[in-house]
């Protein structure tokens, strides 16, 4: 018998109440925790769960306006729906498996989690307040970490019906968190586009859509890049918008009952199949699926009864049927597209001609790329230099059943010193390292041919798994890790140009980040445990003050490059304390114009920008030291 084995008896068996379970295992309820630097971090799921309930009221025909206020750490949501029944205000936000959404006659196609969402928000917040306004009466309840600390009696009110919720996520669970308002803006625009006629006011800015998914696609695509006007089709429980662009990849926005299914699911699979099938039948030609879908930008939203998702955070639809004992999701979407898209193309001959031209161009491009790919693979066999660029990890984003697949990260770095330090200090289970040799090519305005002819780009896109598009992406986060000097910034721009030029969907889907590394190290020379890593002049001064306050001496090291940071120190920056700056494309951003301005010919506008923002390097160095 192993004497060190833990004792296993009646006392080993513990029962947790739901609030304790949510706080002990938050990931089961809201997915990743995170600090807010990624759009799938749990703090955004908390916001979504509250807004979902307000949107459900709108879809039921109550309340046309939702007001949302978000600061760095606190959220307020006020809707004008029916308001929670006053006798159940406390239960609805604190008792698991309590809610109206079990009654399918009241919420047949609801968005929120049945009986869980608001309770999870409450349990994971240091402060949570709910107030319901209903038929001239109101009731308030306040909680801390899910525990009721104040409950008002039912009082008279002149406020309009609806619900007010205010909360602050628990900093002990979401360490160093901060809401990114750009992520929230995208989230709220989705609500507006999916609920045409609903007004959402986010931090005093109005979000409203008249044309639903057509507006969404217009907002997320460059108008100068479209090959034909957006096709917009609507039916009972389904809405579709589709067009083709000059870009290389495929971009989809898919939704179920208002939920943004970022990982797709059965509805998106059915849509992609139906699109190819309908187009083949319309043109009476067996086009390759990849040729039909290259450059596609599309949005699909469906509403189904009792949807089944593959995770608690509902990012992938698993349902096979539109309703219990009803038509399959696949048949429903196939029949709709076959009828409506075929009719549209027959009525709009110019669109049909433009679509055909784009497909045939894609066919030529794909065949040319196949030859280039063969040539690149032949060079790879001769040189056998692919593996020397990549230090891979064990788990990948493509491992669909692995719970850590979304933790996968690849660091793209320059030089042997920096890549060596990161490689030694990384977590080999989920973190990979790709080492660049010198500065990459400026690929602005070049064709995808360069990806196969340039060894650096070929090896990079193969390491990332992008040979067949974003579906093969092997890492959830692509982190550009370059020095914080002029050369490092230039390499960063060249890499961003590569992604935006050839794989813009990787950026749009929030997979690309910049690694923030410290500029200074401030420490007690006699006790290195008292070490502060500082990312700004302000943090440096705070560290100096902290040591001086206790009478300690200090020494300051200015890091000039990643190669100067030891492997032991790097462990601080790419582990739990990692600081990442997401690369965010605003919805109205034109990639073509953006790249032309920064990476094209030296225009007078760019020259003026440089002159106006120029800082003498000597002044910057003196300021930092």
428-478 tens-digit pLDDT:
999 999 998 878 888 888 888 888 888 888 889 989 998 878 888 999 999
Say what the pLDDT of residue 434 is. 93
With left for phi above 0 and alpha for psi between -120 and 50, is residue 470 left, alpha or beta?
alpha
For 150, residues 6+ apart whose C-beta sits below 8 A from its C-beta are 140, 141, 142
The mean pLDDT value for 606-625 works out to 56
Burial 210-225 (b: 16+ CB within 10 A, else e): eebbbbbbbebbbeeb
Which region, left, alpha or beta, applies to residue 177 given φ > 0 means left and ψ of -120 to 50 means alpha? beta
Q: The domain 213-366 is classified under which CATH number: 3.90.1150.10, 3.30.1490.190, 1.10.760.10, 3.30.230.10?
A: 3.30.230.10
Residue carrying structure tokens 């349990």: 123
Element (H, E) at 412: strand 409-414
First to last CA, the chain: 62
How many residues are listed for the chain in this entry?
625
The phi, psi pair for 141, rounded to 5°, reads -140, 140
Residue 625 has pLDDT above 50, yes or no: no
Asked if the model's pLDDT at residue 273 lies above 50, the reply is yes
pTM, two decimal places = 0.80
CA dihedral 471, 475, 478, 482 (to 10 degrees): -140
Local structure of residue 316 (DSSP, 8 states):
S
Q: Using the 8-state DSSP alphabet, how is residue 317 labeled?
A: B
Cα dihedral 2/8/9/14 (nearest 10): 170
Tens-place pLDDT, residues 518-555: 888 898 888 888 888 888 888 899 999 988 888 888 89
Nearest-angstrom CA–CA distance, 170 and 43: 10
Using a 10 angstrom Cβ sphere, with 0-12 exposed, 13-18 middle and 19 or more buried, the burial of residue 528 is exposed
- Give ranges for CATH 3.30.230.10 in the chain: 213-366
DSSP string spanning 449-489? HHHHHSHHHHHHHHHHT-TT-GGG---SEEEEE--SSHHHH
> Cα(319)–Cα(261) distance, rounded to whole angstroms?
12
Is the CB of residue 494 less than 8 Å from the CB of residue 439?
Answer: yes
Query: What's residue 623's pLDDT?
Result: 41
**Domain 18-208, architecture per CATH:** 2-Layer Sandwich (3.30)
**Which tens digits make up the pLDDT trace of 55-72?**
989 988 899 999 999 998
> In the 8-state DSSP scheme, what is residue 160?
P
Query: Do residues 332 and 257 lie in contact, with contact meaning Cβ atoms separated by under 8 Å?
Result: no
The answer to whether residue 100 scores a pLDDT higher than 60 is no
Q: What is the pLDDT of residues 274-333, one digit of tens each?
A: 999 999 999 999 999 999 999 999 999 999 888 888 766 677 888 888 887 789 999 999
CA distances from 220 to 46, 189, 208, 257, 298 (A): 25, 11, 15, 21, 10
Looking at the chain, the domain(s) classified CATH 3.30.565.10 span 18-208
Check whether 263 has a pLDDT greater than 90: no
Rounded Cα gap, residues 426 and 395, in angstroms: 13
Which among 226, 122, 210, 208 has a CA at the least distance from the CA of 166?
Answer: 122
pLDDT for 483: 82
3-class DSSP assignment, residue 366: helix
């Amino acid at each position: 018998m192993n004497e060190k084995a833990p004792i296993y008896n009646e006392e080993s068996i513990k029962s947790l109440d739901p609030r304790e379970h949510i706080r002990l295992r938050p990931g089961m309820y809201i997915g990743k925790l995170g600090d807010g630097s990624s759009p799938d971090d749990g703090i955004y799921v908390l916001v979504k769960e509250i807004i979902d309930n307000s949107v459900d009221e709108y879809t039921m025909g109550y309340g046309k306006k939702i007001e949302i206020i978000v600061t760095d750490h606190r959220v307020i949501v006020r809707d004008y729906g029916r308001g929670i029944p006053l006798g159940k205000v406390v239960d609805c936000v604190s008792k698991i498996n309590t809610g109206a959404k079990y009654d399918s006659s009241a919420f047949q196609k609801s968005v929120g989690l049945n009986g869980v969402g608001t309770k999870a928000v409450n349990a994971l917040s240091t402060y949570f307040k709910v107030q319901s306004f209903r038929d001239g009466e109101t009731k308030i309840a306040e909680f801390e970490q899910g525990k009721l600390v104040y409950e008002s009696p039912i009082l008279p009110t002149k406020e309009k019906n609806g619900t007010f919720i205010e909360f602050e996520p628990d900093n002990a669970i979401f360490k160093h968190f901060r809401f990114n308002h750009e992520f929230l803006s995208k989230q709220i625009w989705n609500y507006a586009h999916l609920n045409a006629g609903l007004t959402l006011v986010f931090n005093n800015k109005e979000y409203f859509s008249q044309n639903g998914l057509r507006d969404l696609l217009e907002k997320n695509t460059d108008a100068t890049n479209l090959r034909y006007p957006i096709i917009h089709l609507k039916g009972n429980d389904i809405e579709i918008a589709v067009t083709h662009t000059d870009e290389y990849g495929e971009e989809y926005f898919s939704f179920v009952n208002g939920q943004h299914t970022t990982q797709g699911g059965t509805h998106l699979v059915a849509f992609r199949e139906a699109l190819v099938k309908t187009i083949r039948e319309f043109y009476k030609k067996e086009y390759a699926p990849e040729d039909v879908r290259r450059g596609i930008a599309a949005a699909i939203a469906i509403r189904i009864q009792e949807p089944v998702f593959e995770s608690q955070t509902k990012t992938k639809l698993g349902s096979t049927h539109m309703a219990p004992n009803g038509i399959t999701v696949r048949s429903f979407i196939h029949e709709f597209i076959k009828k409506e898209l075929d009719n549209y193309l027959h009525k709009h001959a110019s669109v049909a001609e433009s679509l055909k031209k784009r497909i045939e161009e894609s066919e030529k491009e794909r065949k040319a790329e196949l030859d280039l790919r063969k040539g690149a693979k032949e060079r790879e066999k001769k040189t056998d230099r692919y593996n020397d660029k990549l230090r891979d990890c064990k788990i990948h984003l493509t491992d669909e059943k692995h719970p850590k697949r979304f933790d996968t990260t690849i660091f793209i770095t320059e030089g042997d010193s920096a890549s060596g330090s990161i490689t030694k200090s990384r977590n080999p289970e989920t973190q990979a390292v790709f080492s660049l040799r010198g500065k990459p090519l400026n690929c602005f305005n070049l064709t995808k041919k360069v990806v196969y002819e340039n060894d650096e780009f070929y090896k990079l896109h193969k390491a990332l798994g992008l040979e067949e598009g974003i579906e093969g992406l092997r890492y959830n986060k692509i982190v550009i890790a370059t020095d914080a000097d002029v050369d490092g910034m230039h390499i960063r721009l060249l890499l961003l140009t590569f992604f935006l030029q050839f794989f813009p969907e990787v950026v749009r889907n929030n997979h690309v980040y910049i690694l923030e590394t410290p500029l200074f190290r401030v420490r007690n020379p006699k006790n290195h445990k008292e070490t502060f890593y500082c990312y700004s002049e302000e943090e440096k001064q705070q560290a100096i003050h902290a040591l001086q306050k206790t009478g300690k001496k200090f020494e300051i090291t200015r890091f000039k490059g990643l190669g100067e940071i030891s492997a032991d120190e790097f462990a601080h920056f790419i582990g739990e304390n990692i600081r990442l700056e997401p690369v965010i494309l605003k919805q109205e951003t034109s990639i073509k114009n953006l790249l032309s301005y920064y990476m094209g010919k030296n225009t007078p506008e760019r020259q003026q920008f440089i002159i106006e923002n120029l800082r003498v390097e000597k002044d910057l160095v003196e300021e930092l030291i």
